[in-house]
């Protein structure tokens, strides 16, 4: 699978090594989000990257034809981050506390040095005595040719039949 010639030589033909690097990268991403280092988090995205959260309880997968919760192109994602740095993003002022848990990391394909990665997630958000739980599966496309890696797309598919926490103000 990862005999892909675009990959750095040390990762070529070594699934465990590639998965290890990708897991490290995902843990870094989770850590930045946990610590509200939101601008550093945005720097993990390649130019032109997208970030999406499709509707819950359906298999609708195209933000051009059905209503997503989030369908950010690179500019909207950048502006989402800018917004979250402001005190006037009232839903995150004072800021909530978060913990991002990741497991079941799998690489489902590698093309031109870009890995398709899936993993399960559970994200907790705590604010004013209320704990929100978000869970589901992340679908990533990660460019493994750059150093550090860069996210080309991230889609967070919630495994919830409706959005019980109400808000999607944090990055799950």
Partner 1 sequence: MDTILTTPQMVVEDRGRHLFRVARRAFTDEAVLEAERRAIFDRCWLYLGHSSEIANNCDFLTRSVGGREIIFNRDRGGAVHAFLNTCPHRGAMVVREKKGNALSFRCFYHGWSFNVNGRFASRFDEGNYGKEHYGGGCADLAQVPRLESYRDFWFVNFDRNAVPLADYLAGAKEYIDLVADQNEAGMEVVGSGQQYIINANWKLLAENSIDAFHGFPVHSTYFDYLKTLGSLRMESAGSEFSASGMHDLGNGHAVIEYASPWGRPIARWVPSMGEDKRPVIAALREGLIKRFGEQRGTRMSEFSRNMLIFPNLVINDIMAITIRTFMPAAPNKMTVSAWALGSRGEDHDLRKLRLFNFLEFLGPGGFATPDDQEALENCQRGYQNLREVGWNDISKGMPRNGPPMNDDEEQMRCFWRQWRDRIGAVS
CB under 8 A: which stretch of 32-40, 49-57, 105-113, 144-152 binds partner 1? Answer: 49-57
Does residue 47 interact with partner 1 by CB under 8 A?
Answer: no
When asked if residue 48 is in the footprint of partner 1 (CB under 8 A), the reply is no
Query: How near is the Cβ of 58 to partner 1 at its closest, in Å?
Result: 5
80: contact with partner 1 by CB under 8 A: yes
**DSSP of 13-50:** T-HHHHHHHHHHHHHHHHHHHHTT-HHHHHTTEEEEEE
Pair 121, 14: CB distance under 8 Å: no
Cβ count within 10 A of residue 22: 21
How crowded is residue 126: how many other Cβ atoms within 10 Å of its Cβ?
Answer: 12
* C-alpha separations of 13 from 4, 39, 111, 141, 148 in Å: 8, 34, 13, 19, 20
Q: How far is the CB of 96 from partner 1 (least distance, A)?
A: 11
- From 46, 47, 44, 23, select the one nearest 121 (Cα to Cα): 23
Stretch that binds partner 1, among 2-10, 66-74, 106-114, 139-147 (CB under 8 A): 66-74
130 is a contact residue toward partner 1 (CB under 8 A): yes
Nearer to partner 1, 48 or 148 (CB): 48
Q: Is position 36 an interface residue for partner 1 (rule: CB under 8 A)?
A: no
Tokens of 158: 């919630």
Contact between 148 and partner 1 per CB under 8 A: no
Stretch that binds partner 1, among 23-31, 70-78, 108-116, 143-151 (CB under 8 A): 70-78
| Partners of residue 132 on adjacent β-strands | 125
Site for partner 1, rule CB under 8 A: 53, 55-58, 60, 63-71, 75-76, 79-80, 82-83, 86, 88-91, 128, 130, 162-169
């Amino acid at each position: 699978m990862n005999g892909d010639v675009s990959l750095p030589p040390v990762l070529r033909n070594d699934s465990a090594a590639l998965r290890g690097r990708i897991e490290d990268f995902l843990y870094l991403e989770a850590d930045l989000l946990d610590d509200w280092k939101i601008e550093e988090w945005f720097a993990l995205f390649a130019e032109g990257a997208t970030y999406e959260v499709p509707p819950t309880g359906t298999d609708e997968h195209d933000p051009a034809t059905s209503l997503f919760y989030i369908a950010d192109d690179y500019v909207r994602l950048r502006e989402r981050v800018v917004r979250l740095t402001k005190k006037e993003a009232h839903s995150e002022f004072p800021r909530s506390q978060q913990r991002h848990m990741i497991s079941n990391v799998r690489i489902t394909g590698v093309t031109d040095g870009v890995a398709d990665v899936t993993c399960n997630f559970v994200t907790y958000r705590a604010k004013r005595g209320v704990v929100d739980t978000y869970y589901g599966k992340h679908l990533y496309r990660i460019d493994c040719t750059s150093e550090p890696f860069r996210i080309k797309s991230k889609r967070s598919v919630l495994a919830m039949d409706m959005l019980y926490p109400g808000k999607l103000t944090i990055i799950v």
